[in-house]
Structure 1
């Protein structure tokens, strides 16, 4: 992986010429450089640009023309960038009671799954070791072999969910509920493992259904968010997913790592998320996005 990154790094510097954004340059008062970049891009595309610095400065920068100083331009850029946080894009996600319930539940599902996933994956081996589980050879070979197995087993998950979400009896909600519920069941079943092989089997099952779950969620989230606020809805769900994952260690510590409680909590959270998936007010299968 590290070698591939270095190769791509070399390609970026030696095989491509990447110019700075003219918008960035203008925002910092570097008009001459911005015009040069426009000319180079035009030349690369087989055409000629007649843009000059005077032409660029003739435009109205929000009511501030050529006399605008670089500092004032930078302040204007900051104001434009922070304008997105005024709530304009959030309000449509909660415009009606049903839409508000849908958005809230969908974000909650993302959060619950992020919490349960982290809670299980971070503490299952520690819990099992306190119960006398023998994991045998912990060599680099076995570790990477198991990672490859988990990855390969998980690959068909998105393909299977892609088929199920278009089936009339199931659709998005039921497929999501089934995959999340199965993940919860496999998490609880993993507490019975007493060897590396058995734990690997349960983790493979979890990996398959988890991949199904995220495939369905990533399909539903854009579909259930109004078009003008779609990216905002996706971002809010992703943020809650990550934040809830950070909370997992706190829950595990307060629940006592010497007991099975953290794993049971993770399994129960998955089952709660499955019930919430069934209760989502919208089924987007066969319908245009909102």
Structure 2
């Protein structure tokens, strides 16, 4: 009996070894075929090549992109278009709101700047809040996820805006302005990422069209200000000096328009915050993939597919098979993250412990990626200085450019500002068409920046308020195209692992340069055309700079 067992064991051993050998050869053959596929074409990973990121990650990202394309554009993406669009709305509405209330802060017994030259300190407080918010929310979205930042930014903005409406003095208003701007600063960096990462590649042009919400935000804020500030404010020729007659002095009780305005805007922001809870937004599947959590990646794709009435075309095994092909590069990382269960505290601790400067270093992983991040950050910075010089003081500028140097009335000022805002909507739609043509994102960005600068130069030749209004309408049209493309191009060219960090670097430099605009306003005469010339020149310089960017994402999926 023992001899028969021994004989059987000896007969089984060669077969077992042969089977293992066959499996190894099959695995090696699959790996070699995959490597040959990568080396045979530079477009295997679409916009990127193996020098830009880890090949295993890019291969899985490509599979996710194909899955989202198969699931298609459906109910989930339509709902996300609206709730994410609120971020664009808020990003433009609040800076415009600041410029609208600034000329009305002239109460002798309430909120007023210590002097005319210190008025721009309110703009400075806003830009400091936007700077901190842009850096914090965009970088934290790579740590704790997009969803938390997506919701909390609106809650913070709404609460502090309502509190600001009760400000007892100018210093308090500046502080509250910085606090609500901290929330506003995170809107676009986070919202653009969460929307892009749920879009099929054939619908990525919608990211440019999202700038329509930017124009809608400006329209809404001007309509509200026209109804409240224009009707519940002191006349523009009032004074905060006690040496003037009573009829010329503005008292707090007669100047509640800007307070009503902030209460209304804060309440509207909280309503949009509530709408984001009514529509269930899932964490980005590409964020989970970037963190190595393949289980949640598939779960999220399945949820999106169910809402769209489709089936998820890939499984967990498909992603794990890719890891096996690149076992030497990613096995240990993937396996450790697959073992993480739904333990909230442990998951947060692990996320925080894993975040370090590696995210920043990945932005400089290859020569093309390094050139891209440097150019994009510098581009955002130049525009960040140019735009506030024009936009932050447009109501005051329109007033000073009235017929025969006669200041416009409050109603005329807000009417003209509203007209300028409306022109942004067709601009965003045309921008969405242009980015899909042969000129692509880079060509559209170049043309819109150059024309924006030219129109600003042209506005200095206006002799009447109507001529000045026409120039500003053309500026609004082109600048909406420009911002739409810029806000779409930036998240498109950076893959999900570093998207939040890259956008954070760009947005932060944009806000840093924006801080200089009110400082210039403090020491410069803004009733002259000098700021317009500076702004126009910066836009033209940015247009030339945009042609040097190495990536063109038209027709290629973003990972």
TM range (shorter): 0.5 to 0.7
Which residue number in structure 2 is paired with residue 87 of structure 1?
Answer: 357
Question: Quick check: 1:136–1:195 contact (8 Å CA) kept in 2?
Answer: no
Which residue number in structure 2 is paired with residue 197 of structure 1?
Answer: 466
Which residue number in structure 1 is paired with residue 434 of structure 2?
Answer: 164
Which residue number in structure 2 is paired with residue 105 of structure 1?
Answer: 375
Mark the runs of 5 or more structure 1 residues left unpaired by the alignment. Answer: 17-72
> 2: CA distance between counterparts of 1:196 and 1:80?
59
Look up the SS of the partner of 2:445 in the other structure.
helix
> 1: CA distance between counterparts of 2:392 and 2:531?
10
Which residue number in structure 1 is paired with residue 291 of structure 2?
Answer: none
> 2: CA distance between counterparts of 1:112 and 1:263?
14
C-alpha spacing 1:133/1:278, structure 2 compared with 1 (3 Å): farther
Moved more, 248-257 or 113-122: 248-257
Q: Within the alignment, does 1:239 sit opposite 2:501 as a pair?
A: no
Q: Within the alignment, does 1:5 sit opposite 2:267 as a pair?
A: yes
> 2: CA distance between counterparts of 1:260 and 1:148?
22
Select the residue among 258, 264, 283 that pairs with 2:552: 283
Look up the SS of the partner of 1:279 in the other structure.
coil
Question: Quick check: 2:401–2:468 contact (8 Å CA) kept in 1?
Answer: no
> 1: CA distance between counterparts of 2:269 and 2:372?
44
Offset of residue 167 of structure 1: 0.5
> 2: CA distance between counterparts of 1:235 and 1:3?
26
Look up the SS of the partner of 1:281 in the other structure.
coil
> 2: CA distance between counterparts of 1:87 and 1:3?
38
Which residue number in structure 1 is paired with residue 486 of structure 2?
Answer: 217
Which residue number in structure 1 is paired with residue 339 of structure 2?
Answer: none
Offset of residue 266 of structure 1: 1.0
C-alpha spacing 1:260/1:145, structure 2 compared with 1 (3 Å): closer
Aligned residues: 231
Offset of residue 200 of structure 1: 1.3
Q: Within the alignment, does 1:206 sit opposite 2:475 as a pair?
A: yes
C-alpha spacing 1:133/1:152, structure 2 compared with 1 (3 Å): same
Residues 29-44 of structure 1: matches in 2 within 5 Å?
A: none
Question: Quick check: 2:402–2:465 contact (8 Å CA) kept in 1?
Answer: no
Which residue number in structure 1 is paired with residue 114 of structure 2?
Answer: none
C-alpha spacing 1:96/1:8, structure 2 compared with 1 (3 Å): closer
C-alpha spacing 1:100/1:128, structure 2 compared with 1 (3 Å): farther
Moved more, 258-267 or 129-138: 129-138
Deviations along 1:114-161, whole A, 9 cap, x unmatched?
210111234565599499962543223x23322321221110111101
> 2: CA distance between counterparts of 1:238 and 1:7?
22
Residues 173-188 of structure 1: matches in 2 within 5 Å?
A: 173-188=442-457
Look up the SS of the partner of 1:155 in the other structure.
helix
C-alpha spacing 1:92/1:211, structure 2 compared with 1 (3 Å): same
Offset of residue 204 of structure 1: 0.9
> 2: CA distance between counterparts of 1:128 and 1:4?
27
Deviations along 1:255-289, whole A, 9 cap, x unmatched?
66575433221111101100011111111111232
Deviations along 1:153-189, whole A, 9 cap, x unmatched?
1101111011111101x11101000001111001111
Runs of 4 or more consecutive aligned structure 1 residues displaced over 3 Å after TM superposition: 6-9, 76-85, 122-133, 251-261
Deviations along 1:44-78, whole A, 9 cap, x unmatched?
xxxxxxxxxxxxxxxxxxxxxxxxxxxxx99x999
Which residue number in structure 2 is paired with residue 139 of structure 1?
Answer: 410
Offset of residue 234 of structure 1: 1.7
C-alpha spacing 1:270/1:135, structure 2 compared with 1 (3 Å): farther
Residues 39-50 of structure 1: matches in 2 within 5 Å?
A: none
C-alpha spacing 1:255/1:278, structure 2 compared with 1 (3 Å): farther
Mark the runs of 5 or more structure 2 residues left unpaired by the alignment. Answer: 1-223, 225-263, 279-343
Which residue number in structure 2 is paired with residue 155 of structure 1?
Answer: 425
C-alpha spacing 1:84/1:131, structure 2 compared with 1 (3 Å): farther
Which residue number in structure 2 is paired with residue 53 of structure 1?
Answer: none
Question: Quick check: 1:183–1:210 contact (8 Å CA) kept in 2?
Answer: yes
Question: Quick check: 1:123–1:263 contact (8 Å CA) kept in 2?
Answer: no
Q: Within the alignment, does 1:262 sit opposite 2:262 as a pair?
A: no
